[in-house]
Amino acid sequence: MKKISLAKTPTPLQFYNYFESNNIYIKRDDLTDLALGGNKVRKLEYFLADAMKKKADCIVTYGSPQSNHCRLTAAAASKQGLKTVLILSKSGISHFNGNYFLFDLFDVDIVWVETDNVPKKIEETLSSLKNKGYKPYFIQGGGHGNLGTHAYKVAFDEIIEQQNEKSIEFDYIFHASGTGTTQAGLVAGKTIRKSEIKIVGISVARNSNRGKEVIYESLKEYFNEFGYSVDTSENQIIFDDSYIGNEYAHIYPKIIDTIKVVAKNSGILLDPVYTGKAFHGMLSYIDLNKIKNSNILFIHTGGTPLLFNYANKFKEE
């Protein structure tokens, strides 16, 4: 599968700390180099290669006004000399900093949409661009789709190589799960290799049924398109929705405390919407499930600009 080079890989794998007799490591996918990094960079390597192959001159994608995916799509497209159009949902989220500020640096065009009108607005935007003579290439929100899944199948292979080099055997991989594409890729990698590593997605928004269903569909589509005939079942997917709080981007005190502790211990910055929530979820999951004497890998999926969006939450606590 062709990709363009945007990420600096392999990303570092660092020992973080001991927790209840477990060794916790962090894989630094926040250091994927492009525009403050994150998991989307790996996915964009494949999407942009596909767009270039199809001779697209304009990338269109969708997200919230504080979307990491939109920031990184704009950065990647701009680097390739392509125009970017971001379709942004009018949400209640305050957005005049963090990622929204960074969109401007990449000269994006913004199209606003009500959240209940997204598919129609995407269609209209694509046809309007075509009418103006552009050749647009659409990437689903969050970099969802088989190419995104493939990027994290390859990341799983990278983790296996790193654990072999360092003579560690991971028992668990934890990460923040949103559209479920990252998780689908990791589970695809695990399934293909018949690995015993348990992959635990900590949901940032979706309930467990919906999350699992989407990941399972992504897995089946991926195996189908990439020609793998492997057994897969929805039961092998661990998608824990216990740490969402009330909704997406609900930031509660335990998340803030976790971010502070991790920053103090390691100098590593987590964000409150994704990685801070997931790290808190991971520690609680370890505790609740009485996991002991295990090697545990947390994938830091990025999201650093979101930390600045929520500076006021840290002052209030």
Q: Which residues are catalytic?
A: 67
Q: Which residues pair with 18 in a beta bridge?
A: 23
CB within 8 Å of 201: residues ≥ 6 apart: 175, 176, 177, 180, 182, 183, 211, 215, 237, 238, 239, 240
Of the pair 30, 82, the CB lying nearest ligand PLP is at: 30
Question: Using the rule CB under 6 A, is 211 a contact of ligand PLP?
Answer: no
Question: Using the rule CB under 6 A, is 37 a contact of ligand PLP?
Answer: no
CA distance 218 to 133: 33
Least Å distance, CB 179 to ligand PLP, is 3
Q: Which of residues 127-146 bind ligand PLP (CB under 6 A)?
A: 142
Contact 240, 200 (CB under 8 A): yes
Taking CB under 6 A as the criterion, the residue among 243, 301, 305, 310 binding ligand PLP is: 301
Least Å distance, CB 37 to ligand PLP, is 9
Question: Using the rule CB under 6 A, is 177 a contact of ligand PLP?
Answer: yes
- The window from 91-99, 172-180, 188-196, 222-230 that contacts ligand PLP (CB under 6 A) reads 172-180
- The window from 156-164, 178-186, 221-229, 241-249 that contacts ligand PLP (CB under 6 A) reads 178-186
CA distance 59 to 297: 34
Contact 271, 307 (CB under 8 A): yes
Strand pairing class (238-240; 295-300): unpaired
Interacting residue ranges for ligand PLP, rule: CB under 6 A:
38-39, 68-69, 142, 176-183, 274-275, 301-303
